[in-house]
Amino acid sequence: MLDLFYQGGTLFMSVLTILLFAVLASFWKFPKWTKELGLIALAIGILGQFIGLYSAFNSIEEMGEVSQGMLAGGLKVSAITTIYGILIYIMSLALRLIKKS
């Protein structure tokens, strides 16, 4: 699991982890902010993927030719931040539903 954290990029994964804790804290203190913090996590996850894809495509352009396996591995790694952001957003929605009932 820690390996995924480093593969996803320490900057974006750290920001997303801070947002995860903020979602959990807002569940008790500021319930109206729970969904909005989840949306921010989703947006940052997608931004992390686009920046990762940009740098990967930049490297591919410099190298010239790459194998299909290397390209697939780069795409897989770029999706880590988006998946983490989506999970945080889903958690924020679930917490908000729990608070409403």
Name the residue type at position 51: I
Residue 83 corresponds to which tokens in the numbers above?
């998946």
pLDDT of residue 4: 83
pLDDT of residue 57: 87
Range of the domain at 75: 2-100
Q: pTM for this one? A: 0.89
Residue 77 corresponds to which tokens in the numbers above?
């790694």
pLDDT of residue 86: 97
Domain count, the chain: 1
pLDDT (tens, 9 = 90+) of the chain, 101 residues, equals 788 888 888 899 999 999 999 999 999 999 889 999 999 999 999 999 999 899 888 888 888 888 888 888 888 888 999 999 999 999 999 999 988 87
